[in-house]
Amino acid sequence: MAPLDYINGNMERVHMKKYIPLVVAAKVEEERAKWEVALAEALKNRKVSLKSDADFIRHIVEAVTEDVENIYAGKLSLVETNYQKEAELMKKKHDSETQALLDGFEVKLNFERKLQKLKGKVR
């Protein structure tokens, strides 16, 4: 329908000026609705055609597999790094405890030597 079909053909020009943008907007919305329906139908058909395309599916599976492998490789490297850091910290802790024990034994030996010297001088 033409815009003039929506309004009376004998309407004055002043009144037509008010209604024509509304009629045009309504027609644009009708066309937009048709385009959206056509687009939805085209997308639906494209999805069906892509799902039946073996090469496309193979490509998608390869890409997803590669992404997942990269993600898990990154997570595994983080776990390995954390394990190595934890092992280093444990080694440092063990080394410091061992050093403290050795220092304690050295102090004890020095004390015993001094005690023996004092006992030897007293006798």
Tokens, residue 98: 């061992």
CA–CA separation, 34 and 21 (whole Å) = 20
Model confidence, pTM:
0.41
Q: Is 10 helix (H, G, I), strand (E, B) or coil?
A: coil
CB 7 within 8 A of CB 16: yes
CA–CA separation, 23 and 5 (whole Å) = 10
Residues in the chain: 123
CA–CA separation, 123 and 93 (whole Å) = 45
**4: pLDDT strictly greater than 70:** no
pLDDT reported for residue 45: 95
CB 24 within 8 A of CB 48: no
Instruction: State the pLDDT confidence band at 1, using cuts at 50, 70 and 90.
Output: very low
Q: CA 70 from chain center: how many Å?
A: 13
Mean pLDDT for all residues in the chain:
87
Query: Between the CA of residue 68 and those of 51, 54, 59, 77, 92, what are the distances in Å?
Result: 21, 21, 14, 14, 36
